Copies of this chain bind each other. A is one copy, B any other.
Amino acid sequence: MLYSKLFGKTKKNSKEYDSTNATLLIKGGFIDQVMAGTYTYLTLGTKVLAKIEQIIREEMDKIGNEVFMPSITPASLWQQTGRFETVDVLMKTVPANKFALAKSDAEYVLNPTHEEVVTPLAKKFITSYKDFPFALYQIQTKFRNEPRVKSGLLRGREFRMKDLYSFHTSEEDMKKYYEKVKEAYVKTFSRLGIGKDTVVALASGGSFTDDFSHEFQTLCDTGEDTLFYDKSSSVYYNREVAPSLAPEVKYHDEKMLPRQDVVGEGIIGVEELANFLKIPVEKTTKTLIFETDDGRVIAAAVRGGYDVNEDKLRKVARCKAVKLASEKTVKTVTKAEVGYAGILDLPKEVEVYLDESVANRTNFETGANKTHYHSINVNFGRDIPLPKQFFDIKISKRGDLNPKTKKEYQVFAASEVGNIFPLYTKFSEAFDYKYIDREGKEKPIYMGCYGIGSSRIMGIIVEKYHDERGIVWPKAVAPFQVHLVGLDLKDESIKTKAHEVYQALLKKNVDVIFDDRVETTAGEKFSDADLIGIPTRLVVSKRTADKIEFKKRTEKKTELLSLDDIIGRL
């Protein structure tokens, strides 16, 4: 392709967009922002996206059947799973004006995911045990109702996605297939050029299971996720599920001091409180009151500096959901205004869940359950009975230990590139989808779902592979393999030679873009080539005489080679 004919040239301005990937992709002429979180893929971007999706398709074809489901579907399907009223990213379509309304007043869901479509589809076609397991996937545009998003291609109102769904006659079979998908994903990410930095992390399995789901995370300094890596077991955990043991407190009080209730009106945050009380933050305790979905009121406490992990709390409290208690409930339970809750003297019917970080401290602080008061020099055994059990109900943070190995985690920033999620019977039950076993009996169907965001991956690759001059595309997803730069093109003989080299490369099926602009300076052309980030740069100019300059985007070294040598290398 001729660069002069390409739609979407590089931008020279120094503007920074909402993220590194947006800045480099917009400046490089890959994408154009239509509104926050919504982009047009220009020609270069369309090529990269197509390459990413083709690699995904080839790997998915080995483990599933490609299909293509509609984006708009009847709301009734979403009502059947109860998600029509609850999913906060769900959009629906309505007629845009009175003429459209007169034509048809129907409303449809604009799918952000396709469990509600694929389950009834599978049910129509496959019910005999003989035809299990099977898996369906598609590569498609998805829609999410998002507020103003600011992370380029990493998160959008409209994005590209591969979603795969599998169907099984048993939990074991689901888990077996699950491992197959893991392998296929490893292969996919490796082919996409991000394999060596992509790890599998354990993540939350959702409210209907205690199992983990799995995320494929690409380690990346600008990643929005935090991974906790336990070296001795070689396991990565997403922060949301990382089991954690707080490091021992650093202070050491030999003796118990007398408990005191101190007035501290309006002093609520632990930092502020520690300052006010002139004690280390570690001595403070954060107590929160929750209501459970089964109608209980519970208290949860973590050491100052930590936060309560609601997912962990939900599990230890053996319920499906917890939510922060209403102001009214807090007042009733603590007999105080909000902000002074503590673990002292709570009513008997309130179960108290103490994080292990709260234990092993002398003379600690806790809310006094008395308006404006904080209790200090509190001690288990003396002021509060030592509980039978401490739990892990905190959000892990840097410095925490793995509870099993007692070793400190390594902590990494990362970006999710894929996820695999056991659905068990959640959707098959909602659609009353059962299989008929050998004896003719109806049995439950187990499902899994497995996503890869193809447009997101384009963004992550840029976040990960760039330098101060621009993008550095992995070979497999680069928009072209060769960037041929013609210089001194006002000189007819050089111009002829450059076009000849271009034609020769095309003839050899080399995927090449030729910067044939006549008026542009060498400096601009080189900086454009670096910004666009194609793996190999070739230069034809007066200086290169009968040779061609060869340079890799990842290296500084240039070489003068013959056309044949170059074709040999490519």
| Chain A interfacial positions (CB closer than 8 Å to B) | 5-9, 32, 34-35, 38-43, 45-47, 49, 65-75, 78, 84-100, 102-104, 106, 108-110, 117, 121, 124-126, 134, 136, 138, 141, 143, 145-148, 157-158
- A34-B67 contact given A90-B100, A97-B86, CB 8 Å threshold: no
27 A-B residue pairings within 8 Å (CB atoms): A5-B65, A7-B134, A8-B125, A9-B125, A34-B69, A34-B70, A34-B121, A38-B70, A38-B73, A39-B70, A40-B68, A40-B70, A42-B65, A71-B141, A71-B158, A72-B157, A75-B96, A87-B99, A87-B100, A90-B95, A91-B93, A91-B96, A91-B100, A92-B94, A92-B95, A93-B94, A93-B145
Q: Which residues of B sit under 8 angstroms from A45, Cβ to Cβ? A: 68
Whether B100 pairs with A96 at a CB distance below 8 angstroms is no
Q: Which residues of B sit under 8 angstroms from A126, Cβ to Cβ? A: 7
Whether B100 pairs with A32 at a CB distance below 8 angstroms is no
- Cα–Cα, bound, A103→B91 (Å): 11
- In order of increasing CB-CB distance, the 6 nearest A-B pairs are A88-B99, A90-B96, A7-B65, A41-B68, A92-B96, A104-B147
What 10 new A-B contacts, CB under 8 Å, besides A8-B125, A46-B66? Answer: A8-B65, A8-B67, A34-B69, A42-B65, A49-B68, A92-B95, A93-B143, A95-B145, A96-B145, A141-B141
Q: Which residue of B lies closest to A11 (CB)?
A: B125
Whether A86 pairs with B104 at a CB distance below 8 angstroms is no
Among the interface residues A5, A9, A68, which one has the most CB atoms of the partner chain B within 10 A?
A68
Q: Which residues of B sit under 8 angstroms from A71, Cβ to Cβ? A: 71, 141, 143, 158
- Cα–Cα, bound, A35→B90 (Å): 20
Q: Which residue of B lies closest to A455 (CB)?
A: B68
- Cα–Cα, bound, A108→B104 (Å): 18
- Cα–Cα, bound, A91→B99 (Å): 11
Q: Which residues of B sit under 8 angstroms from A73, Cβ to Cβ? A: 34-35, 38
- Cα–Cα, bound, A74→B33 (Å): 12
Contact of A38 among B72, B90, B102 (CB under 8 A): B72
- Cα–Cα, bound, A158→B43 (Å): 25
Whether A41 pairs with B65 at a CB distance below 8 angstroms is no
Whether A103 pairs with B89 at a CB distance below 8 angstroms is yes
- Cα–Cα, bound, A46→B136 (Å): 12
- Cα–Cα, bound, A124→B42 (Å): 12
Q: Which residues of B sit under 8 angstroms from A84, Cβ to Cβ? A: 96-97
- Cα–Cα, bound, A87→B98 (Å): 9
Q: Which residues of B sit under 8 angstroms from A93, Cβ to Cβ? A: 91-94, 110, 143, 145
Whether A104 pairs with B38 at a CB distance below 8 angstroms is no
Q: Which residue of B lies closest to A35 (CB)?
A: B74
Whether B99 pairs with A86 at a CB distance below 8 angstroms is yes
- A65-B6 contact given A35-B74, A40-B121, CB 8 Å threshold: yes
- Cα–Cα, bound, A47→B71 (Å): 18
Whether A125 pairs with B7 at a CB distance below 8 angstroms is yes
Whether B88 pairs with A102 at a CB distance below 8 angstroms is yes
Q: Which residues of B sit under 8 angstroms from A98, Cβ to Cβ? A: 85
Q: Which residues of B sit under 8 angstroms from A94, Cβ to Cβ? A: 91-94
- Cα–Cα, bound, A71→B90 (Å): 16
- Cα–Cα, bound, A55→B41 (Å): 21
- Cα–Cα, bound, A148→B104 (Å): 8
Whether B117 pairs with A34 at a CB distance below 8 angstroms is yes
Q: Which residues of B sit under 8 angstroms from A43, Cβ to Cβ? A: 65-67
A145 CB to closest chain B CB (Å) equals: 5
A39 CB to closest chain B CB (Å) equals: 7
- A40-B117 contact given A84-B96, A104-B146, A158-B70, CB 8 Å threshold: yes
A61 CB to closest chain B CB (Å) equals: 9
Whether A85 pairs with B97 at a CB distance below 8 angstroms is yes
Among the interface residues A9, A70, A71, which one has the most CB atoms of the partner chain B within 10 A?
A70
Q: Which residue of B lies closest to A9 (CB)?
A: B125
Q: Which residues of B sit under 8 angstroms from A66, Cβ to Cβ? A: 43, 46-47
Whether B145 pairs with A32 at a CB distance below 8 angstroms is no
- Cα–Cα, bound, A485→B248 (Å): 71
Contact of A91 among B32, B86, B95, B146 (CB under 8 A): B95
